[in-house]
Amino acid sequence: MARHASILLAGLMMACGAHAQVANLPTRSLAATCAACHGTDGRSVSGAGMVSLRGLDRTYLQAQLQAFRDGSRPATVMHQIAKGYTPEQIDQLAGYFAALPRVAP
Amino acid sequence: MKRRDLLLGSGAALTLAACGSTPSVPARAQVVVVGGGYGGATAARYVRLLSDQKIDVVLVEPQESFVSCPVSNLVLSGTRTLADITSSYDALVSRHGVKWVRDSASRLDTTTKTVSLAGGASIRYDKLVVSPGVELLFDEIAGLRAAHTSGQVLQAWKAGSETLALRRQLEAMADGGVYAISVPEAPYRCPPGPYERASVVAAYFQRAKPKSKVLILDANPDVTSKPALFKKAWAELYPGMVEFRPLHKVVAVEGQRIRIEVQDDVRADVLNLLPPMRANIIAAQAGLMNAGRWCKVHWQTLESTAAKDVHVLGDAVLAAGGMPKSGHMANAHAKVAAAAIVAQLSGQPVNASPMLTNTCYSYVGDNSAIHVASVHEYVAAEDTFKPVPGSGGVSAQRNEAEAAYAAGWARNIWADTLG
ipTM of the complex: 0.90
Query: What global pTM score does this model have?
Result: 0.92
Write out pLDDT tens, residues B181-200: 999 999 999 999 999 999 99
CB pairs under 8 A between A and B: 159
Who's near B27: CB < 8 A, 6+ residues apart?
B14, B17, B18, B122, B123, B124
pLDDT above 70 (res A15): no
pLDDT above 70 (res B286): yes
pLDDT above 50 (res B14): no
> What is the arithmetic mean of pLDDT over B306-322?
98
Whether residues A29 and B335 touch (CB distance < 8 A) is answered with yes
Is the separation of the CB atoms in B31 and A39 below 8 Å?
A: no
> What is the arithmetic mean of pLDDT over B342-371?
97
Q: What percent of chain B has pLDDT over 70?
A: 95
DSSP states along B366-381: TTEEEEEEEEEEEEGG
| pLDDT-wise least confident of A7-11, B155-159, B207-211 | A7-11
H or E element that contains B86: strand B86-87
Is the separation of the CB atoms in B267 and B255 below 8 Å?
A: no
Q: Which of residues 302-361 of B touch A (CB under 8 A)?
A: 328, 331-332, 335-336, 339, 342-343, 345-348, 351, 354-357, 359
User: Which among B46, B401, B405 has CB closest to A32?
Assistant: B46
Whether residues B3 and A7 touch (CB distance < 8 A) is answered with yes
**Which pLDDT score is estimated for B147?**
98
Q: In angstroms, rounded to a whole number, what is the distance separating the alpha carbons of residues B210 and B358?
A: 35
pLDDT above 90 (res A104): no
Is any Cβ of chain B less than 8 angstroms from the Cβ of A2? no
pLDDT above 90 (res B240): yes
In chain A, DSSP finds a helix count (H) and a strand count (E) of: 6, 0
Q: Mutate which of B333, B357, B359, B386 to disrupt the A interface (most A C-beta within 10 Å)?
A: B357
Q: Report chain B residues whose CB lies below 8 A from the CB of A50.
A: 405, 408-409, 412
B225 burial type by CB count under 10 A (0-12 exposed, 13-18 middle, 19+ buried): buried
**Which pLDDT score is estimated for B33?**
98
What value does the mean pLDDT of chain B take? 94
DSSP states along B94-150: HTT--EEE-S-EEEEETTTTEEEETTS-EEEEEEEEE---EEE-GGGSBTHHHHHHT
**Which pLDDT score is estimated for B21?**
38
Whether residues A10 and B6 touch (CB distance < 8 A) is answered with yes
pLDDT above 80 (res A16): no
pLDDT above 90 (res B412): yes
pLDDT above 50 (res B23): no
Q: What percent of chain A has pLDDT over 90?
A: 74
In chain B, DSSP finds a helix count (H) and a strand count (E) of: 11, 24
Whether residues A22 and B348 touch (CB distance < 8 A) is answered with yes
Q: In angstroms, rounded to a whole number, what is the distance separating the alpha carbons of residues B123 and B141?
A: 37
Q: Cα dihedral sign for B203, B205, B208, B211?
A: negative
Write out pLDDT tens, residues A55-98: 999 999 999 999 999 999 999 999 999 999 999 999 999 999 99
Write out pLDDT tens, residues B271-285: 999 999 999 999 999
H or E element that contains B58: strand B57-60
**Which pLDDT score is estimated for B9?**
35
Write out pLDDT tens, residues B91-128: 999 999 999 999 999 999 999 999 999 999 999 999 99
pLDDT above 60 (res B231): yes
Report the gap between the CA of B116 and the closest CA in chain A (Å).
22
Q: What is the DSSP pairing of strand B384-387 with strand B368-379?
A: antiparallel
Cis ω for the linkage preceding B324 (within 30 of 0) = no
> What is the arithmetic mean of pLDDT over B253-279?
97
Helix (H, G, I), strand (E, B) or coil at B154: strand
**DSSP summary character for residue B206:** H
Assign B8 a pLDDT band (cuts: 50, 70, 90): very low
> What is the arithmetic mean of pLDDT over B212-241?
98
Q: Which residue of A has its CA nearest to B342?
A: A22
How far is C-alpha B244 from the geometric centre of its chain's CA atoms? 25
B262 burial type by CB count under 10 A (0-12 exposed, 13-18 middle, 19+ buried): exposed
Q: In angstroms, rounded to a whole number, what is the distance separating the alpha carbons of residues A39 and B419?
A: 10
